[in-house]
Chains A and B, each alone.
Chain A
């Protein structure tokens, strides 16, 4: 054993795991509420998914199959890096196939394939506070959540409508959970917000730098903030077809065609795209 020792299974010492586990259980009991936890420094930088990573490390066991994606793809450098760290500290099997995974850690997407009850989705969160853009002070936002004072969030949306004729949030459009807490769903595109509503899988969200864990249990009401006369709208994916697998109606990456100067689209969820391509290949 070197001086720097052998790391514990899943890197974290048991004390750190217990802290994260306690916070997680309370987060599940209070849907949408940000539970503070003593985030540990990880070998990966703050802002690069340490919150999600700590959640995964506190959950994972030798029998799990792990999928890690970033921007919808398993091969993104960040996803590869995180997977390598978890594999080297656990020996766990990893997979690109959403259906095979029991734990899915993701930055900025919910997979297109509906999740099952035996799966847990872990989302990486940069800024867990949905009111942060209205109020920079943590002391104040804590009180606003306590008093259920979300006028700031609605005013922000209202101002966007007044100024631009429509809501202009991109990703990370705030949601209301279990008719109580307004929550930042993490920078997932709006098209993914409805997947949080009455899903079959537990969703956990971790912000390492801001030191918060929160959760959306399965079968829980999640609605995106909107006004009656300006209902919530996802990104417009009409008329877009994936040039690889032919899918429609899913979130796509916009590709600038260097050769022909136009625009083409490809599925953002690369493993589902691959699965469709292989399914076509088998039936054709």
Chain B
């Protein structure tokens, strides 16, 4: 009878998988994916942003499978995203075309278009509401009916209540000469999912990595920058928007005029009126303004405003603000300060990479350890420390 390998690993994995399933089902309930989507909006928005995949039903599915763990849900979504073919790229979007649901500015008391509070947690008291323990579908339907009736009664005349086309606060500062006017740069952005990030990073790479970053990590690093880990920024939220952004792709049937050198990027030559409208996504967009010294060193240096930009899928306000702070920090690199160190920030904010490498410590390392044992033992051997007598 020959010797065969002991097949322990396969059985152990199977048993572990079953055990995991038990943990998800032990209360006798299977979470309804539609309920997850409807009732866990905050978690859905967080994982869509960290996964950089905008699809609420799929996000809710991942949340169910991950039992609500953002780390696991983002992992599922990123792996799924990895397998999807990349068919089209949208035309660059003018942010003012968004239809705002919420729009505030901390920089001015009032702004053209108004301070629109919208739906946010900033104005509620964080007190547990007992009525939610007994809320059922009848209550929900009744409440929604009252809401709809009230909305119709308050329908606003066209002009006063326009929610799209609102000007950016930053444009006001530019018009006043207080912020540098910028030419639109519609160069196709670098794509960190198609080509590995390189330090120093382009701005498009920087923004992509930040928007895909773990919410907690981005928030904490932004917090550190406010608390003085680095030269003080004195940021002000010029504008925060939670808005519905329309997406358009260039006409996929348009003929390619690109015989010559210059490439086949259809968005560069796209006719703006000839695009296909895909739909809307909800995003959070923040423009933070920061006073900086104007370049051109004379004795008395004027100040001007510079802009930090944050944008995320879904309603992720804290993350978007923190992102805008880090964008400004990294615009002024300084390797003495971690929040101004591009490599430190961009290499460590990704959820899948950070959680993966940390969890890899659970893998067996006994070969490397055996090798270390040998090295350590060798230093205890008499002939190894021959230099000591002469010291």
Enumerate chain B residues within 8 angstroms of A253, measured Cβ to Cβ. 366, 370
Enumerate chain B residues within 8 angstroms of A281, measured Cβ to Cβ. 1-3
Q: Are A16 and B7 in contact, CB atoms less than 8 angstroms apart?
A: no
Known: A48-B356, A109-B367. A278 touches B199 (CB 8 A): no
Query: Quick check: which of B8-16, B167-175, B213-221 contacts chain A, the rest being far away?
Result: B8-16
CB contact list, B190-217 vs A, under 8 A: 192-200
Q: Are A139 and B199 in contact, CB atoms less than 8 angstroms apart?
A: yes
Q: Are B4 and A274 in contact, CB atoms less than 8 angstroms apart?
A: yes
Is B124's CB within 8 Å of the partner chain A? no
Cα distance, A74 to B8, chains bound together (Å): 10
Cα distance, A171 to B385, chains bound together (Å): 21
Is B69's CB within 8 Å of the partner chain A? no
Q: Are A45 and B360 in contact, CB atoms less than 8 angstroms apart?
A: yes
The residue on A at minimum CB distance from B194 is A38
Enumerate chain B residues within 8 angstroms of A80, measured Cβ to Cβ. 9-10, 13
Enumerate chain A residues within 8 angstroms of B386, measured Cβ to Cβ. 165
Cα distance, A137 to B360, chains bound together (Å): 22
Cα distance, A107 to B121, chains bound together (Å): 48
> How many chain A residues have a CB neighbour from B under 8 Å?
73
Is A47's CB within 8 Å of the partner chain B? yes
Known: A77-B9, A168-B376, A209-B356. A108 touches B367 (CB 8 A): yes
Q: Are B353 and A165 in contact, CB atoms less than 8 angstroms apart?
A: no
Q: Are A75 and B379 in contact, CB atoms less than 8 angstroms apart?
A: no
Question: How extensive is the interface on chain B, given as a class?
Answer: 35 or more
Cα distance, A121 to B342, chains bound together (Å): 35
Which of A41, A76, A77, A165 makes the CB contact (< 8 A) with B79?
A: A41
Q: Are B360 and A126 in contact, CB atoms less than 8 angstroms apart?
A: yes
Cα distance, A109 to B353, chains bound together (Å): 24
Is A4's CB within 8 Å of the partner chain B? yes
Is A277's CB within 8 Å of the partner chain B? yes
Query: Quick check: which of B82-90, B224-232, B295-303 contacts chain A, the rest being far away?
Result: B82-90
Specify the main secondary structure of chain A where it touches its partner. Answer: loop
Which of A79, A108, A170 makes the CB contact (< 8 A) with B9?
A: A79
Cα distance, A162 to B367, chains bound together (Å): 26
Q: Are B356 and A45 in contact, CB atoms less than 8 angstroms apart?
A: yes
Known: A4-B80, A76-B9. A137 touches B343 (CB 8 A): yes
Known: A45-B355, A165-B379. A11 touches B83 (CB 8 A): yes
> In the complex, how many angstroms separate the beta carbon of B7 from the nearest chain A beta carbon?
6
Cα distance, A106 to B7, chains bound together (Å): 18
Is A33's CB within 8 Å of the partner chain B? no
Enumerate chain A residues within 8 angstroms of B2, measured Cβ to Cβ. 278, 281
> In the complex, how many angstroms separate the beta carbon of A213 from the nearest chain B beta carbon?
10
Cα distance, A39 to B352, chains bound together (Å): 12
Is B75's CB within 8 Å of the partner chain A? yes
Cα distance, A187 to B369, chains bound together (Å): 10
Enumerate chain A residues within 8 angstroms of B161, measured Cβ to Cβ. none
Known: A235-B370, A278-B3. A209 touches B199 (CB 8 A): no
Specify the main secondary structure of chain B where it touches its partner. Answer: helix
Interface string of A72-112 (1 = CB under 8 A from B): 10111111110010000000000010000000000111000
Q: Are A164 and B379 in contact, CB atoms less than 8 angstroms apart?
A: yes
Q: Are A171 and B372 in contact, CB atoms less than 8 angstroms apart?
A: yes
Interface string of B339-350 (1 = CB under 8 A from A): 000010001000
Is A159's CB within 8 Å of the partner chain B? no
Which of B7, B85, B197 makes the CB contact (< 8 A) with A75?
A: B7
Enumerate chain A residues within 8 angstroms of B197, measured Cβ to Cβ. 211
Is B378's CB within 8 Å of the partner chain A? yes
Is A195's CB within 8 Å of the partner chain B? no
Q: Are B3 and A13 in contact, CB atoms less than 8 angstroms apart?
A: no
Cα distance, A236 to B343, chains bound together (Å): 40
Is B357's CB within 8 Å of the partner chain A? yes
Is B138's CB within 8 Å of the partner chain A? no
Enumerate chain A residues within 8 angstroms of B359, measured Cβ to Cβ. 45, 47-48
Cα distance, A162 to B387, chains bound together (Å): 8
Interface string of A54-80 (1 = CB under 8 A from B): 000000000000000011101111111
Interface string of A225-239 (1 = CB under 8 A from B): 000000000011000
> In the complex, how many angstroms separate the beta carbon of B325 from the nearest chain A beta carbon?
23
Enumerate chain A residues within 8 angstroms of B9, measured Cβ to Cβ. 75-77, 79-80
Q: Are A96 and B366 in contact, CB atoms less than 8 angstroms apart?
A: no
Is B20's CB within 8 Å of the partner chain A? no
The residue on A at minimum CB distance from B10 is A80
> In the complex, how many angstroms separate the beta carbon of B112 from the nearest chain A beta carbon?
43
Enumerate chain B residues within 8 angstroms of A189, measured Cβ to Cβ. 367-368, 370-371
CB contact list, A152-190 vs B, under 8 A: 162, 164-172, 187-190
> In the complex, how many angstroms separate the beta carbon of B364 from the nearest chain A beta carbon?
5
Q: Are A170 and B375 in contact, CB atoms less than 8 angstroms apart?
A: yes
Enumerate chain A residues within 8 angstroms of B376, measured Cβ to Cβ. 168
Is B132's CB within 8 Å of the partner chain A? no
Is B234's CB within 8 Å of the partner chain A? no
Is A224's CB within 8 Å of the partner chain B? no
Which of A50, A70, A271 makes the CB contact (< 8 A) with B5?
A: A271
Enumerate chain A residues within 8 angstroms of B84, measured Cβ to Cβ. 13
Enumerate chain A residues within 8 angstroms of B75, measured Cβ to Cβ. 41, 45
Q: Are B85 and A168 in contact, CB atoms less than 8 angstroms apart?
A: no
Q: Are B83 and A235 in contact, CB atoms less than 8 angstroms apart?
A: no
Is B373's CB within 8 Å of the partner chain A? yes
Closest 9 CB pairs of A and B: A46-B356, A47-B360, A170-B372, A170-B371, A165-B384, A41-B78, A80-B9, A47-B357, A45-B356
Further pairs besides A15-B85, A36-B198, A169-B375: 18, Cβ < 8 Å: A15-B86, A37-B196, A39-B196, A41-B82, A45-B356, A47-B358, A47-B359, A48-B356, A77-B9, A80-B13, A84-B10, A108-B367, A108-B368, A139-B200, A171-B372, A211-B197, A235-B370, A268-B367
A-B contact pairs, 30 of them (CB 8 A): A38-B193, A40-B193, A45-B360, A46-B353, A46-B356, A47-B356, A47-B363, A48-B356, A48-B360, A72-B367, A75-B6, A76-B9, A76-B364, A80-B13, A108-B365, A108-B368, A109-B367, A137-B343, A138-B199, A164-B385, A165-B385, A168-B378, A170-B372, A171-B368, A187-B371, A189-B368, A189-B370, A251-B367, A254-B373, A274-B5
